[in-house]
Amino acid sequence: MATLKDIGLSAAINILSAFVFLVAFAILRLQPFNDRVYFPKWYLKGLRNSPRHAGAAVRKFVNLDYRSYVRFLNWMPAAMKMPEPELIDHAGLDSAVYLRIYFLGLKIFVPIAVLAFAVLVPVNWTNNYLEELYRGNPKLTYSDIDKLSISNIPSESHRFWAHLMMAYAITFWTCYILYKEYELIATMRLHFLASEQRRPDQFTVLVRNVPPDPDEPVSELVEHFFLVNHPDNYLTHQVVHNANTLASMIKKKKKLRNRLDYYELKYSRNQSKRPTTKTGFLGLWGEKVDAIEFYTVEIDKMSNEIEKERERTTNNPKSIMPAAFVSFKTRWGAAVCAQTQQTRNPTIWLTEWAPEPRDVYWQNLAIPFVSLTIRKLIMFVAFFFLTFFFMIPIAFVQSLANIEGIEKAAPFLKPVIELSFIKSFIQGFLPGIALKIFLIVLPAILMLMSKIEGYTAISSLERRSASRYYFFLLINVFLGSIIIGAAFEQLDTFLNLSANDIPKTIGVAIPMKATFFITYIMVDGWAGVAGEILRLKPLIIFHLKNSFLVRTERDREEAMDPGSLGFNEGEPQIQLYFLLGLVYAVVTPILLPFIVVFFGLAFLVYRHQIINVYNQEYESAAAFWPDVHARVITALIISQVLLMGLLSTKRAASSTPFLLALPVLTIFFYRYCKNRFEPTFKRYPLQEAMMKDTLERAREPNLNLKGYLQNAYIHPVFKGEDDDENYEITKEWEQGGLVPTKRQSRRNTPLPSKYSGSSSPSLPEVIQEQT
């Protein structure tokens, strides 16, 4: 069992590690050759130039200005200077609200920590219960941390009323802060949507499960359906093609083009010798040929194949999926379509808001709708087994925290393990770092599972992956560590455990595992966050790519691109700290300062990263916040239930029943917030849509909206290299005749077909027949 000495050693190691990371970052960020690693967002926006372009050779790589080293920590106040409205304009609402999760942790836990140390720590510390137990049973072991916890309160003590009142205070304070934050972010979202510039997704819905029709292809069927059912608002549509093969071919062509650019650049610098390459894999073997001629021929071949595949994909009816992006003349019309049921049969003509074009995950649009349910079932089973089998490494981690177990398994290690420093290192540091290592690959696995399930937006993929990751952390890291850790120490009790006694047993085990979670917080939350700002892995990868793989400026941009924040990995880890803080606030308050330090340090670090590093891939207008709110509520309910289990083992019969009201009140609060605020994140108010449409018509009466929208949702592989999104403003929409159709039941569809962006080969023939 870890002692204060063990925790002190772990704290010293992690504080020293965090300090080294922060100092190393402060120095490395000043060096010109690292500028693209630590400020990539400004380069990608075209607002920063490399400091290596001018000056002496040494100055291109090393900053020789001693004054900059004196101010090497000025990045901290600089990260806090940017106001939140400016931050939203700079990085988007998603990034700004992501930061507010850390700020939410500070607002919840700073007052709770002050109150807990003022009330609960004296109540726990002034008892001698553990000392009396030790005198009666010398084999019992406890630490000074246990004397600060609820474990030091004797059974049937009236002091449990202090813990009960603290539980109520924590619940009411947390709910109050959650309500205020939910209200604020809902307002921020509405303001953001109202003030945001025109985007294609504001006018577009994704239609899936279009029913097959023997008389018409998908494109005509979609067109006529919406002209009939949304006659005043339908504008254009774009069917979805299965273009995955074409996409892989274009990706291969880009690689060939990049290699050709490299050899042409190489030849332009030294025209005395033509560059050569080998025709084998990666140019490592095969016949030696002229590199420029070889890649020129290969690109021409690939271009011909791409054109054939593009034509085949475009003309083959089997490549058209029963789905389409349908755009409307107004935001109001799109909102009505996206938020209503289209037919009597609720399984066909399914409509939802289209993701913004950057957010579309094109590969999954080619998945047939029927197979989605099967895929989700398979992934559910796979996730269940993944969660179950991960208990094995969790058990290994918990065995590291149990010195007695290691000595029994390997008696020859006892002389080494019993050394004071080694023992403190094993119990205070090793379990946390071992668990961190095991969790490194998990987010990538969960993201792959979400992709297999068939979600069509990157934001949806990340939210689904985040949900699973949080469940995984809850089951394995939190409950798994508590149950397995307690099982190692009380194996006989666990072998004869009844299912009805599980909450009580977990409740008893919670104080015993406080030291393990303190070490995990320091490793992951202190040193891990400080390591995030150092960006050691991206730094090494960038310089390796820049030295060996970067051939062109395009390569350099790809090498330095930091990507998005990684919501699927970061947010569930934050939620684990909310869970630990709420559970241990009453049980072992000594854990709270470690939580507060994490939230404060993480808020500072990620504010700097969002301003200077991460380039958000998409913008969902904080659509993830209901999930954040729900997970904090879940953590609060879990803390209440486990506290009831713990108090019941302490035979606190007079105080325990009063805890029953807390989960009920918390669930009621969650339902109220869900009904009050969640519609803002799921639906777009028609009043807001109408106001924005009216304002836009007044400002831009001649806007060519069809030209703006008709190519917005074309698969990237069908766009030429020179395509752009700049459209000229032309005359207003025109009104006109009837929509021709092959189907006898739709010969007289009202409204003009010329608003459709699709080209139906049969339409000219039908028009000719009517005239």
DSSP string spanning 188-205? HHHHHHHHSPP-GGGSEE
Identify the pLDDT of residue 411.
63
- Whether 663 shows a pLDDT value over 70: the answer reads yes
Structure-model confidence comparison of residues 437 and 626, the more confident one: 626
What six digits make up the tokens of 741? 């159709």
Q: Which of 231, 224, 235 is nearest to 704 (CA)?
A: 235
Q: Which long-range contacts (CB under 8 A, 24 or more apart) does 197-202 make?
A: 198/696, 198/708, 199/356, 200/327, 200/354, 200/356, 200/357, 200/708, 200/709, 200/712, 200/713, 201/353, 201/354, 201/355, 201/356, 201/357, 201/359, 202/331, 202/334, 202/692
What six digits make up the tokens of 758? 């699709």
Please name the residues in contact with 319: beta carbons below 8 A apart, sequence gap of 6 or more.
241, 242, 243, 312, 313
pLDDT band of residue 273 (cuts 50, 70, 90) is confident
Identify the pLDDT of residue 746.
42
Question: What's the whole-number mean pLDDT along residues 279-292?
Answer: 74
pLDDT band of residue 428 (cuts 50, 70, 90) is low
d(CA 451, CA 465): 9
The 3-state DSSP composition of the chain as helix, strand, coil percent (nearest 5) reads: 70, 5, 25
Question: What's the whole-number mean pLDDT along residues 669-692?
Answer: 92
d(CA 687, CA 242): 37
pLDDT band of residue 50 (cuts 50, 70, 90) is low
Identify the pLDDT of residue 141.
56
Identify the pLDDT of residue 754.
37
- Tokens 């709708």 correspond to 369
Work out the burial of residue 430: count CB atoms within 10 Å of its CB; fewer than 13 is exposed, 13-18 middle, 19 or more buried: middle
d(CA 42, CA 60): 19
What six digits make up the tokens of 299? 């690109």
CB atoms within 10 A of CB 750: 11
- Whether 596 shows a pLDDT value over 90: the answer reads yes
- Whether 751 shows a pLDDT value over 70: the answer reads no
Residue ranges of alpha helices (H) inside 196-320 are 218-229, 244-269, 291-315
* Cα of 478 vs its chain's centroid, Å: 20
Q: Which of 475, 419, 416, 418 is nearest to 442 (CA)?
A: 475
Q: pTM, whole model, 2 decimals?
A: 0.81
d(CA 759, CA 316): 14
Helix 592-612 × helix 93-125 angle, to 10°: 170
List, for residues 296-325, the tens digit of each pLDDT value.
988 999 889 988 888 888 888 888 888 999
Least confident segment among 161-175, 217-231, 415-429: 415-429
What six digits make up the tokens of 326? 């349908």
Q: Which of 147, 155, 145 is nearest to 131 (CA)?
A: 147
What six digits make up the tokens of 692? 């924005």
d(CA 586, CA 417): 34
d(CA 674, CA 182): 10
User: Max alpha carbon distance in the chain (Å)?
Assistant: 105
Identify the pLDDT of residue 18.
86
C-alpha dihedral, 38 to 42 to 47 to 48, nearest 10°: 10
Supply the DSSP string of 455-522, one letter for each residue.
Answer: -SBHHHHHHHHHHHHHHHIIIIIIIIHHHHHHHHHSHHHHHT--GGGHHHHHHHHHHHTHHHHHHHII
pLDDT band of residue 732 (cuts 50, 70, 90) is very low
Structure-model confidence comparison of residues 151 and 659, the more confident one: 659
Identify the pLDDT of residue 503.
54
Q: Domain-by-domain residue ranges, the chain?
A: 4-197+371-682, 200-355
d(CA 67, CA 59): 15
Q: What residues are paired with 289 via a beta bridge?
A: 277
- Whether 761 shows a pLDDT value over 60: the answer reads no
Reduced to 3 states, what is the DSSP secondary structure of residue 208? Answer: strand
DSSP state, 526?
I
Share of the chain above pLDDT 90, in %: 31
Query: For the stretch 85-103, what's the b/e string if a residue is b when 16 or more beta carbons lie within 10 angstroms of its beta carbon?
Result: eebbeebbbbbbbbbbbbb
Strand order in the sheet with 234-241: 234-241, 320-328, 204-208, 350-353
Identify the pLDDT of residue 611.
92
d(CA 400, CA 348): 55
Question: What's the whole-number mean pLDDT along residues 245-273?
Answer: 82
What six digits make up the tokens of 24? 């190393």
Share of the chain above pLDDT 70, in %: 77
